[in-house]
Structure 1
Amino acid sequence: MTGVDHQHSAAVEQAAMWLAEQQEPPKPAVPFLRRTFGLSTHEACEACSLANRFRINRRSLG
């Protein structure tokens, strides 16, 4: 097995990029992302996870 291939919608990716750029992310993030980007709860959670990966990659790659 090679792992799971996750594909995200454009809205999820846009929300994740926005969230990763915030110095002070909104709390709680999921309801905010749902309202602002029109995401489902599952999509908002995906965006949070993706934003964390973006932040980690940015820190490790400079």
Structure 2
Amino acid sequence: MTELPADPKVAEAAQWIANGDPRPDVVPEIRRRFELSALQAAQACGLAQKIRVSREAFQ
């Protein structure tokens, strides 16, 4: 199983991304909404993709 990131803000942002529809402005939005750095935003996007894939695998 994938480990959660050390920063809970990254996990929260990833969950927010995974629960929403794909959108082109997601990085600036999560940086603003969750006060993330660019690196944290990238980590959140990667984790969100893993969450989506996991959901698909177990449906």
TM-score scaled by structure 1?
Answer: 0.81
Per the alignment, residue 34 of structure 1 pairs with: 31
Work out the CA distance in 2 between the residues paired with 1:25 and 1:11: 19
State the structure with more CA Rg.
Answer: 1
TM-score scaled by structure 2?
Answer: 0.85
Percent identity of equivalent pairs? 35
Work out the CA distance in 1 between the residues paired with 2:6 and 2:49: 15
Gaps of 5+ in 1: none
Within 5 Å, which residues of 2 pair with 1:11-50? Answer: 11-22=9-20, 24-50=21-47
Q: Over the residues paired in the alignment, what is the CA RMSD in angstroms? A: 1.6
Contact 1:26–1:32 (8 Å) recurs in 2: no
Q: Could you say if the C-alpha distance between residues 57 and 44 of structure 1 is closer, same or farther in structure 2, counting changes exceeding 3 Å?
A: same
- Letter of the 1:21 partner, please give it: N
Gaps of 5+ in 2: none
Deviation of 1:61 after TM superposition, in Å, equals: 1.1
Number of residue-to-residue matches in the alignment: 57
